[in-house]
């Protein structure tokens, strides 16, 4: 009979890989595991682990408690193992989860597949509970994530991004050795982040054509180098008109390849590590100033950050003293301070990316491109911008569908429109929440500006409501409440935003409407379009002559003459109105003209939802009545307070009210959409339908 469990070991100069196979149960031999898991760097490979039992968890954690190593990492964790990371406290301590598999199911042929997620690269997306876009390996249809992302990613999202030592790349397979480039341009400074293995045959031609000005080459994630690897960098220093600086170069790499750095290269900082007598690793980034301070006899001795024992800094200083470190110019230091990591691992603040690829016109014998983005189709246009469904391409065959929004060519030169467009990106990028459409990038190409946004495969609530009206099918109360509660969560995230210094700086959406609520085919709800949002300041008033937003979903204080002061409660009124409309399929204030609609919002009584929909639960009627109070003081003070009442109602129904229930109802509406000739033939094109509805957007005069 074959054993239920086994383990094998691969010893490399940099460390040890222990591969576990089978079922981890009470027969897990922790003593054998400890004999195998030796060395300063240990990687545990879970790829072949089928199951982990409760008694197996007990034995596993006892083994980890006795393990002594400088660094412990986990790779290729299958769903059965991820379940233990999510459920069992300290299941992985003191290690770091680096890569794991995510489960997918094809809705067409029902093929199961698992996709590897690398937290070194995908941490920010996982933290936002975003799932990779995956095609079925059998029929090539879009596969769906076969779990709840908020549950499956809970452990990974709650930890810090893994920071494995450079030598670990050699233990993770050949893929980790591939040299990868990330680029960011700000002003006259170009940042280049290199990761993987430097190779003599590595091609830098894709970079050379666009390099100019001052170039910062970050080598912190370069794991190793083939013989002559640094020599491949010479091409960068030969570019005419460019001045290159090297930062965070790994000390072991420089010790072997120092002679390959040309005299024109400026080495500004290095990355090294010191082990204390016990074996704890301490990483350092050192520049000229830090090295001089370290060399000063009066400087206190360095101590281990873990056990406080003295570190052998004298030998470290001797090694670094032979490196030609140069002082860091002020502008380069400022650039590094604002951009310490590669773009995709940077903070949520959008950065300006200069693209050098000229857009190709459609029908020119190949796909249309805008910069590095392949344009799939034009989704529509509003008064300020046009929106495209696009595909982002990157190294290694990486593809991802995104939404590209660019300012209309005729408006790009207008400073007021340009500032408004960029303000949308700045504000929306500060809100990172699963119920808010994410902003990935903002950039400039050929004198126009663009925003790269998350693609939501689904429909906006306005289209769903129109279909529900045609079918005479109101939203089930628990589905309507779940959608409204999720919108509350997105609004609360915006209203709770803090500035760079940590001070509250709430963002008021000011355009909450069904057009800007997206519902995916999986039932996920996301708030979109911060085009007229404002970072709230009580002293900042909107002039009396200007109305912004959709009149049919405008809070009463927006429509009143005189200067207007907005706060979070201005977003709650329209959300109550949306909830009313989902239950009744009627807009209580909609009139033949905008002026009549505005008067109705200001003067007519707010109707009781149960008069129009007797089936509406009393608890939801109370929520709507409070949210739609004409006096802001009588409304919910926060979106979180409204969400709590909605969740209390949902808890009292004792019926499921999650994403799957939302998907079940809204996908039924979508099926009817597809049968109507006036609706697009593909749901994919509706992913950002909120951007297409421009007929209700107004910037008008109050006296017009």
Helix axes 288-295, 313-321, angle to 10 degrees: 130
Cβ atoms within 10 Å of 296's Cβ, excluding its own: 10
Handedness of CA 405, 410, 415, 416 (dihedral sign): negative
DSSP states of 508-524: E-S--SGGGEEEETTS-
Integer Cα distance of 118 and 115 in angstroms: 10
**What are the C-alpha distances in Å from 193 to residues 122, 602, 672?**
16, 56, 48
Q: Quote the CA–CA distance of 521 and 666 in Å, as a whole number.
A: 8
Measured CA to CA, the distance from residue 317 to residue 302 in angstroms comes to 11
511 labelled catalytic: yes
Distance of CA 321 to the CA centre of its chain: 41
Report CA-CA distances (Å) from 274 to 70, 94, 254. 11, 19, 16
**Distance (Å, whole) CA 244 – CA 239:** 9
DSSP single-letter state for residue 436: B
Angstrom distance (rounded) from CA 318 to CA 386:
59
Does residue 381 contact residue 212 with C-beta atoms inside 8 Å? Answer: no
- CA atoms within 13 A of residue 58's CA, in its CB half-sphere: 6
Give the Cα separation of 550 and 575 in Å (integer). Answer: 13
- Count Cβ atoms within 10 A of the Cβ of residue 300 and give its class: 0-12 exposed, 13-18 middle, 19 or more buried: exposed
Cβ-contact 166, 270 below 8 angstroms? no
Q: What's the order of all strands across the beta sheet hosting 96-97?
A: 5-12, 15-24, 41-52, 71-75, 96-97
Q: Choosing from 25, 287, 511, 697, which is the catalytic residue?
A: 511
- b/e map of 257-290 (b: 16 or more CB within 10 Å)? beebbeeebbbbbbbbbbebeeebbbebebbeee
Question: Position of tokens 């937290």?
Answer: 119
CB neighbours of residue 17 within 10 Å? 24
Contact 515, 696 (CB under 8 A): yes
Q: At what angle do helices 639-653 and 569-584 cross, to 10 degrees?
A: 30
Catalytic residues: 511
């Amino acid at each position: 009979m074959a054993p239920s469990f086994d383990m094998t070991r691969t010893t490399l100069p940099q460390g040890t890989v222990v591969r576990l196979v089978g079922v981890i149960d009470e027969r897990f031999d922790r003593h054998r595991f400890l004999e195998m898991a030796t060395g300063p760097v240990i990687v545990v490979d879970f790829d072949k682990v089928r199951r982990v039992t409760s008694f197996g968890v007990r034995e596993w954690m006892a083994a980890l408690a006795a393990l002594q190593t400088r660094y412990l990492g986990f790779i290729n964790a299958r769903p059965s193992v991820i379940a233990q990371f999510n459920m069992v406290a300290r299941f992985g301590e003191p290690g770091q989860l680096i890569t794991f598999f995510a489960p997918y199911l094809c809705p067409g042929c029902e093929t199961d597949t698992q996709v590897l997620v690398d937290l070194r690269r995908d941490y920010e997306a996982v933290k936002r509970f975003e799932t990779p876009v995956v095609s079925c390996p059998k029929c090539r249809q879009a596969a769906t994530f076969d779990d709840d992302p908020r549950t499956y990613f809970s452990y990974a999202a709650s930890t810090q991004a893994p920071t494995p030592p450079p030598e670990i790349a050699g233990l993770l397979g050949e893929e980790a050795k591939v040299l990868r480039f990330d680029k960011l341009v700000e002003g006259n400074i170009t940042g280049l982040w290199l990761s993987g293995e430097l190779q003599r045959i590595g091609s830098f031609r894709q970079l050379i054509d666009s390099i100019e000005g001052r170039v910062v080459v970050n080598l912190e994630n370069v794991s190793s180098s083939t013989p002559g690897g640094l020599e491949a960098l010479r091409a960068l220093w030969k570019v005419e008109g460019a001045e290159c600086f090297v930062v965070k170069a790994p000390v072991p790499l420089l010790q072997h390849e120092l002679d390959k750095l040309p005299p024109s290269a400026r080495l500004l900082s290095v990355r090294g590590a010191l082990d204390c007598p016990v074996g704890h690793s301490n990483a350092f980034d050192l520049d000229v100033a830090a090295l001089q301070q370290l060399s000063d006899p009066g400087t206190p001795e360095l101590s281990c950050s873990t056990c406080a024992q003295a570190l052998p800094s004298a030998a470290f200083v001797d090694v670094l003293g032979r490196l030609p470190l140069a002082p860091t110019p002020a502008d380069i230091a400022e650039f590094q301070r604002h951009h310490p990591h590669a773009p995709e691992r940077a903070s949520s603040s959008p950065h300006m990316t200069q693209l050098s690829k000229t857009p190709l016109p459609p029908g020119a014998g190949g796909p249309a491109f805008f910069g590095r983005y392949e344009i799939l189709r034009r989704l529509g246009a509003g008064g300020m911008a046009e929106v495209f469904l696009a595909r982002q391409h990157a190294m290694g065959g990486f593809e991802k569908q995104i939404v590209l929004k660019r300012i209309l060519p005729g408006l790009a030169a207008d400073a007021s429109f340009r500032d408004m467009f960029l303000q949308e990106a700045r504000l929306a990028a500060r809100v990172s929440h699963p119920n808010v459409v994410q902003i990935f990038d903002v950039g400039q190409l050929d004198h126009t500006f663009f925003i790269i946004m998350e693609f939501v495969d689904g429909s906006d609530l306005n289209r769903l409501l129109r279909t529900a009206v045609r079918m005479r099918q109101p939203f089930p109360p628990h589905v309507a409440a779940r959608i409204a509660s999720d919108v509350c969560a997105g609004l609360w995230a915006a209203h709770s935003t803090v500035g760079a210094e940590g001070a509250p700086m709430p963002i008021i959406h000011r355009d909450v409407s069904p057009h800007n609520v997206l519902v995916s085919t999986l039932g996920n709800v996301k708030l979109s379009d911060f085009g007229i949002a404002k970072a709230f300041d009580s002293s900042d008033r909107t002039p009396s002559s200007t109305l912004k937003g959709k009149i049919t979903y405008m809070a009463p204080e927006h429509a009143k003459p005189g200067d207007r002061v907005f706060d979070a409660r201005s977003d709650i009124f329209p959300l109550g109105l949306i909830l009313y409309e989902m239950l009744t399929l009627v807009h209580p204030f909609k009139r033949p003209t905008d002026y009549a609609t505005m008067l109705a919002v200001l003067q007519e009584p707010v109707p009781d939802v149960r008069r129009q929909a007797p089936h509406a639960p009393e608890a939801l009627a109370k929520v709507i009545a409070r949210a739609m109070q004409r006096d802001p003081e009588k409304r919910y003070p926060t979106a979180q307070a409204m969400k709590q009442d909605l969740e209390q109602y949902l808890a009292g129904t004792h019926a499921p009210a999650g994403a799957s229930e939302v998907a079940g109802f809204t996908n039924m509406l979508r099926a009817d959409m597809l049968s109507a000739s006036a609706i697009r033939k593909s749901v994919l094109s509706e992913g950002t339908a909120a951007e297409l509805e421009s007929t209700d957007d107004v910037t008008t005069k109050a006296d017009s």
